[in-house]
Structure 1
Amino acid sequence: MSSTLSDSGSGDDWAGDRDALADILAFHLEAGVDVALGEEPVNRFAESEASRAAPSTAPARDASRPALTRAPASPPADEPAARRAVAPAPALLSPAAPPPPDVAALEAREAAASAPDLDALRALLESFDGCPLKHTATRLVFADGNPAARLMLVGEAPGREEDIEGKPFVGRSGKLLDRMLAAIGIDRTSAYIANVVPWRPPGNRTPTPQETAICLPFIRRQIELANPDILVCLGGPSAQTLLGIRDGITKARGRWMAYDTGRRVIPALATFHPAYLLRTPLGKRMAWRDLLAIEAKLAEKPDGA
């Protein structure tokens, strides 16, 4: 191939194609597509329809005849007793499925309420099996930054890079968030960062309402224990979950609202998620206004000061 490229003078074209392929791979990795399952796409919906339409080939059992149960095979009489004693055990059953969403949400409320501090809350999340996302994620993404900071930021769910490192906002959107905070003199030592859902959904998909409801008691308790002076919801899903808004993020952003922890009311602001700003750079102008509002609010004396 190298001689052909050299003869045709298309080496630069090949380099350009290689760079384009690298960009495509990087895009898919950022989107959470990190496993190749096949060279050709497969229409799973068509397969499902075909399986439902295909007639069953299993012979029908006569309801008047009882079903037969095969008895376990007896070992040969001449088989040594020692060999029979160490016969391989049957295959282990797969792990138990998570409880129904309503049961899991109730268990989450009880567990979260019992956590006396953030370390205990993290330990409870590590051992909590009620959310199915835990079984597909690499690790728990609990929080990053300073839990004693006056400012707390909450996103929706971790992505691929966060799932690998176990910290929120460390990918491309996290780097942009760092630059945004630095513009008003804040870094990760003066902010506390978390997500509503602490496990990465497969393929970076949006968490289901059931998954969000199961994780909600934990993030509410996390906010209560961190007890910040200002809460910032990054993106529409976070704002809708924590602040109960129904408007889109474009309408909801920039307005100060009240978040009640049960112990105190915290000023809360919704703004664009950094991932949205990467896709829509025009939104950075409005995000800058939100940052200035956060800076001004931090300059005020906290409640009780």
Structure 2
Amino acid sequence: MEPMTASHADTDARADLMSYLDFHVEAGVDAALDERPHDRFAEAEAAAQAPAPRAEPAPPREPLPREPLPREPLPQRDPAPGEDAPLEFRRELPSRDPPPREPPRTYGNAAGAKPGEAADDARARAAQMTTLAELEALLRGFEGCGLRFTAKNLVFADGNPQARVMFVGEAPGADEDRIGKPFMGRSGQLLDRMMAAIGLDRSSAYISNVVPWRPPGNRNPTPQEISICRPFVERQIELADPDILVCLGAPATQTLTGTKDGILKARGRFYPYRLGDGREIRALATLHPAYLLRQPVQKRLAWRDFRMLKAALDGSAAGR
């Protein structure tokens, strides 16, 4: 057995540190505040109960002399033959100019943009994309959403972009973030079974999410993150051009249809969805597979919605 060298020990230590960092990212930690935990509530209570310190009178200060003290010149040494004259060293006073300001944070190509401006920048850039491949390449280089820096992979889409039906969820989970495709975990397996029940699979459906990056710890995307990512998924729907759009869960339904209703009230209904060129398609709201895994009794409602989807697809096919 070979003895462990210093390089092997450094490699193992680095791997341990990366595993430790991945554990915290998976748990949703996206900022390090201090080296040790603090009980902020106890500190605030202790500060409120502590008596105010008594101000001690300052001792009288003696006036400073107005005239500068005389300074004796330093002894000078004559240079030896062949030696250069000594250099004069002067003391540089600190500059009174203000320190340089840090450059503003950028969202995409908009320097110093606020979240609203970042969404406008995202919409302008998404509108310039003419193919799904161009849109995916744009998202891979887009830096306007902070989720890009905490996620492992961009989760753009899966399935057939030429399909007649497009499913849109909320955001990727841990499995999707690791693989780089939407609906790859348990909820994806359930979605596959739900599609198979009406004769669909991933070769006859197109699947995506409103937010293409996983939020840390599987938390819900913030309204600012959704507003920045929304122009991209809207352009993705326009380029895929499906006959029917299926919104999986409340966040996708509310983002794409504009309704404020909860998903149990909104599900089972078709909403008009207007594309960028003015055409309208139908958007069906239904329950998210992840919700069905937590509430199996609600699968009966999702089955009703998928039967509506099947009838709508058969009807639109007959009308062609």
The TM-score, its normalising length taken from structure 2, stands at 0.68
Which structure has the larger Rg over C-alpha atoms?
2
CA contact (8 A) 2:28 2:216 kept: no
For the structure 1 residues 45 and 170, does the alpha-carbon distance in structure 2 shift closer, same or farther, using more than 3 Å as the test? farther
CA deviation string 1:53-100 (max 9, x = no partner): 899xxxxxxxxxxxx7489xxxxxxxxxxxxxxxxxxxxx99956442
Residue from 291, 295, 299 that aligns with 1:280:
295
For structure 2, the 5+ residue unaligned runs are 1-22, 53-92, 97-101, 108-112
Q: Distance in 2 between matches of 1:158 and 1:52?
A: 43
1:286-301 matched pairs, under 5 angstroms: 286-301=301-316
For the structure 1 residues 128 and 44, does the alpha-carbon distance in structure 2 shift closer, same or farther, using more than 3 Å as the test? farther
| 1:301 Cα offset (Å) | 2.7
| 1:49 Cα offset (Å) | 5.0
1:97-116 matched pairs, under 5 angstroms: 98=107, 99-116=113-130
- Name 1:202's counterpart in structure 2: 216
Query: Which stretch shifts more, 192-201 or 95-104?
Result: 95-104
The TM-score, its normalising length taken from structure 1, stands at 0.71
- Name 2:27's counterpart in structure 1: 33
Higher helix proportion, which one?
A: 1
Q: Which amino acid aligns with 1:175?
A: Q
Residue from 237, 260, 264 that aligns with 2:274:
260
Alignment length (residue pairs): 239
Q: Distance in 2 between matches of 1:120 and 1:218?
A: 11
CA contact (8 A) 1:155 1:233 kept: yes
For the structure 1 residues 52 and 122, does the alpha-carbon distance in structure 2 shift closer, same or farther, using more than 3 Å as the test? farther
Does 2:161 align with 1:147?
yes
Q: What is the RMSD computed on CA atoms of the aligned residues? A: 3.0
| 1:48 Cα offset (Å) | 8.3
CA contact (8 A) 1:176 1:274 kept: yes
Q: Distance in 1 between matches of 2:257 and 2:223?
A: 15
For the structure 1 residues 46 and 229, does the alpha-carbon distance in structure 2 shift closer, same or farther, using more than 3 Å as the test? same
For the structure 1 residues 46 and 267, does the alpha-carbon distance in structure 2 shift closer, same or farther, using more than 3 Å as the test? same
CA deviation string 1:101-150 (max 9, x = no partner): 11211110111000001000001111111001101111110000000000
For structure 1, the 5+ residue unaligned runs are 1-28, 56-67, 72-92
In percent, how many aligned pairs have the same letter?
58
Does 2:135 align with 1:121?
yes
Q: Distance in 1 between matches of 2:47 and 2:135?
A: 45
- Name 1:15's counterpart in structure 2: none
CA contact (8 A) 2:168 2:247 kept: yes
Q: Which amino acid aligns with 1:180?
A: M
Q: Distance in 2 between matches of 1:51 and 1:134?
A: 40
CA contact (8 A) 1:162 1:171 kept: yes
Residue from 218, 241, 248 that aligns with 2:232:
218
Does 2:296 align with 1:270?
no
Other structure's SS at 2:316 match: coil
- Name 2:197's counterpart in structure 1: 183
